[in-house]
């Protein structure tokens, strides 16, 4: 046994290396599953080096294996392949480095891959990541669309060309990245974070053309699914053909069948919108026009009512009234004058009939004193008094010439 | 009578319209003095002008917003 180390009695490096190597050597054999991230075969070297990566976490372990293990017939060891490795932890004392020494490598079969995806799907579904309530609505006409896709891929062209044709004003922020292989999921996640952090980007499209189940594997990566769930920006996925379903399709806010379909989902069709607006506009105009015409007709009808249109009629009746009264007044007065006239004629006749003229005509005379009084008795007059005699022919002055004897008036 | 073209009427179309209808009703009912019915008729003319003004304005605005094609 070595005595414990202390500042006064430190261990030499070889002792530490030996102790670590011993401890690791006791760990024994382990079965481990991961993805081949790097693979290097150096010439005819007896040992093959590879890096085994955990697809859900950003960590990896170097693996060494004898050439015959790596080149076993039936095993097609390539970068990106999922493998199950039987290995023993090993500490290489010369460098102080840790690795796994593989004694057997098995490829993970397709059925097994799908079963694993299904397990992850159930796990995430149970967490509620795929719930309909989590789906966010897409903006109606986004100014900027973020696109994550392979460089110069058909998927990129489909999204850009189709979206521009539908809505020419749309702008894109494109993040090109690996869409297959061991780095794809991480690369897509990096793009997602970058676009999500850009406030101008209103919706993100993740697009990739069709491929084998293995090719599409990064899009069922647990880390990527969680990254999509964590975005603030709505995400549309268009991965593979319509029949391929990857886990990102479950978590996306909208799953498009193809990249072209994704473009249809994220931007409206401009012609259709123009027609819609035109239609609404025409309806509004028609409605207003009708209303206005109705009011104009009403006003016209009111203005043509006799009380407004012919104000002279207000006077007409009144003028008739006045002239009627006037006529009546004239007629009444005329009648009265005629009656008075007739009365006068009648009275005149009566006067004539009653006058003494007729008696005078018969030869009688009337004697009047100077004052006009009639003389009815000789005693009324004095001697030499001037009197007037009135006969039918006129007046005649006379003087009283009475003898003194006084034959008193006895004619 | 005032010329409604010179200034914006203070009455809205609806106010003028309602009052105009009332004026016509009273004129048609009769039983007014000459002076009263003349004053009422003048008021009616004024109101009709206000209504016409608003309708003409509406028509103009509608025409101004018309598509150029």
Q: Nearest CA of chain B to the CA of A324: how many Å?
A: 17
**What are the tokens at A232?**
């603030």
Q: Nearest CA of chain A to the CA of B55: how many Å?
A: 7
Residue with more model confidence, A310 or A126: A126
Q: Is A19 in the B-facing interface, judged by CB distances under 8 Å?
A: no
Q: Is A305 in the B-facing interface, judged by CB distances under 8 Å?
A: yes
Q: At what angle do helices A270-303 and B13-29 cross, to 10 degrees?
A: 30
Q: Given 3-state DSSP classes, what are the helix, strand and coil percentages for chain A, each rounded to the nearest 5? A: 45, 20, 35
Q: Is residue B8 a part of any domain in this protein? A: no
Q: Is the confidence at residue B62, as pLDDT, over 60? A: yes
Q: Is residue B39 a part of any domain in this protein? A: yes
Give the DSSP letter string of A388-403. Answer: EEEETTEEEEEE----
- Of all residues in chain A, what percent carry a pLDDT higher than 90? 37
pLDDT of residue A411: 45
Q: Measured at the alpha carbon of residue A148, what is the angle toward residues A143 and A154, in degrees to the nearest 5? A: 100
Q: Please give the tally of structural domains in chain B.
A: 1
CA distance A311 to A367: 80
Annotation: CATH topology of A13-108: OB fold (Dihydrolipoamide Acetyltransferase, E2P) (2.40.50)
Mean predicted confidence (pLDDT) in A270-298: 89
- What pLDDT digit, counting tens, does each position of B13-61 carry? 899 989 998 988 888 888 888 788 888 888 988 998 998 898 888 888 8
Instruction: Identify the CA nearest to A244 among candidates A205, A204, A212, A206.
Output: A212
Query: Would you say A105 and A65 are in contact if contact means Cβ atoms under 8 Å apart?
Result: yes
Residue with more model confidence, B64 or A86: A86
Q: Nearest CA of chain A to the CA of B24: how many Å?
A: 7
pLDDT of residue B2: 47
What is the rounded average pLDDT for all residues in chain A? 87
Q: Is A96 in the B-facing interface, judged by CB distances under 8 Å?
A: no
- Does this complex have an ipTM over 0.85? no
Q: Is the confidence at residue A410, as pLDDT, over 50? A: no
Asked whether the beta carbons of residue B48 and residue A308 sit closer than 8 angstroms, the reply is yes
Of A114-118, A154-158, A257-261, A286-290, the range with the lowest mean pLDDT is A114-118
Backbone dihedral region for residue A74 (phi beyond 0: left; psi -120 to 50: alpha; all else: beta): left
- What pLDDT digit, counting tens, does each position of A136-151 carry? 999 998 999 999 999 9
Asked whether the beta carbons of residue A307 and residue B38 sit closer than 8 angstroms, the reply is no
Query: Confidence class of residue A359 from pLDDT cuts 50, 70 and 90?
Result: confident
Spell out the alpha helix ranges (H) of A35-176. Answer: 67-70, 110-127, 154-166
Query: Confidence class of residue A405 from pLDDT cuts 50, 70 and 90?
Result: low
pLDDT of residue B68: 55
Q: Is residue B1 a part of any domain in this protein? A: no
What is the CATH code for A115-130+143-268?
3.40.50.261
**How many beta carbons lie within 10 A of that of residue A201, not counting itself?**
22
CA distance A173 to A159: 12
A411 contacts: CB under 8 Å, gap ≥ 6:
none
Bridge partner residues of A145 (DSSP): A172, A203
B37 lies in which domain range? 13-64
Q: Is A376 in the B-facing interface, judged by CB distances under 8 Å?
A: no
Helix (H) or strand (E) holding A23: helix A13-25
Q: Is the confidence at residue B7, as pLDDT, over 90? A: no
Q: At what angle do helices B34-64 and A312-354 cross, to 10 degrees?
A: 160
pLDDT of residue B4: 45
CA distance A342 to A203: 119
Helix (H) or strand (E) holding A96: none
Query: Looking at the partner chain, which of A285, A295, A308 has a beta carbon nearest the beta carbon of B44?
Result: A308
The model's pTM is 0.51
Q: Is residue B4 a part of any domain in this protein? A: no
Asked whether the beta carbons of residue B62 and residue A314 sit closer than 8 angstroms, the reply is no
Q: Measured at the alpha carbon of residue A141, what is the angle toward residues A135 and A143, in degrees to the nearest 5? A: 105
- What pLDDT digit, counting tens, does each position of A76-108 carry? 788 888 888 999 999 988 888 999 999 888 888
In the block, residue with structure tokens 């917003």: B65
Q: Is the confidence at residue A270, as pLDDT, over 90? A: no
Query: Looking at the partner chain, which of B24, B38, B66 has a beta carbon nearest the beta carbon of A314?
Result: B38
CA distance A5 to A269: 76
pLDDT of residue A74: 66
Domain boundaries, chain A: 13-108, 115-130+143-268, 269-307, 358-399
Chain B contact set for A295 (CB, 8 A): 13, 17, 51, 55
């Amino acid at each position: 046994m070595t005595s414990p180390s202390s500042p006064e009695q430190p261990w030499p490096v070889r002792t530490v290396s030996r102790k670590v190597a011993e401890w690791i050597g006791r760990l024994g054999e382990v079965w481990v599953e991961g993805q081949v991230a790097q693979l290097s075969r150096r010439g005819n070297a007896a040992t093959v080096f590879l890096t085994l990566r955990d697809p859900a976490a950003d960590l990896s372990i170097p693996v060494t294996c004898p050439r015959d293990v790596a080149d076993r017939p039936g095993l097609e060891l390539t970068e990106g392949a999922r493998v199950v490795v039987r290995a023993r932890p090993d500490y290489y004392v010369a460098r102080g480095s840790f690795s796994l020494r593989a004694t057997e490598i098995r490829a993970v079969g397709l059925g097994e891959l799908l079963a694993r995806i299904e397990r992850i799907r159930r796990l995430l579904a149970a967490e509620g990541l795929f719930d309909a309530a989590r789906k966010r609505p897409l903006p109606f006409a986004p100014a900027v669309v973020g696109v994550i896709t392979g460089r110069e891929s058909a998927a990129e062209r489909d999204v850009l060309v189709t979206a521009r044709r539908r809505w020419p004003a749309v702008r894109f922020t494109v993040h090109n990245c690996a869409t297959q292989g061991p780095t794809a999921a991480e690369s897509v996640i990096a793009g997602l974070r970058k676009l999500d952090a850009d406030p101008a980007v209103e919706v993100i499209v993740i697009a990739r053309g069709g491929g084998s189940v293995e090719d599409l594997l990064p899009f069922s990566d647990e880390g990527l699914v969680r990254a999509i769930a964590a975005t603030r920006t709505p995400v549309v996925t268009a991965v593979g053909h319509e029949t391929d379903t990857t886990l990102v399709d479950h978590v996306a806010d909208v799953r498009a069948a193809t990249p072209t379909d994704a473009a249809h989902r994220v931007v409206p069709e401009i012609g259709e919108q123009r027609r819609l607006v035109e239609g609404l506009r025409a309806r509004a105009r028609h409605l207003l026009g009708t209303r206005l015409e109705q009011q104009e007709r009403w006003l016209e009808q009111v203005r043509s009512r006799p009380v407004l249109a012919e104000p002279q009629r207000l006077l007409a009746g009144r003028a008739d009234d006045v002239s009627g009264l006037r006529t009546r007044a004239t007629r009444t007065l005329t009648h009265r004058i005629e009656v008075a006239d007739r009365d006068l004629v009648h009275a005149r006749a009566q006067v004539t009939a009653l006058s003494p003229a007729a008696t005078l005509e018969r030869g009688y005379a009337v004697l009047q004193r100077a004052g006009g009084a009639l003389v009815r008795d000789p005693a009324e007059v004095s001697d030499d008094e001037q009197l007037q005699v009135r006969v039918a022919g006129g007046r005649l002055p006379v003087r009283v010439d009475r003898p003194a004897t006084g034959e008193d008036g006895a004619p | 009578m005032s010329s409604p073209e010179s200034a914006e009427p203070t009455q809205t179309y609806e106010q003028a319209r309602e009052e105009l209808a009332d004026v016509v009703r009273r004129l048609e009912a009769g039983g007014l003095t000459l002076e009263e019915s003349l004053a009422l008729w003048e008021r009616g003319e004024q109101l009709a002008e206000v209504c016409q003004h608003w309708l003409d304005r509406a028509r103009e605005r509608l025409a101004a917003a018309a598509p150029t094609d």
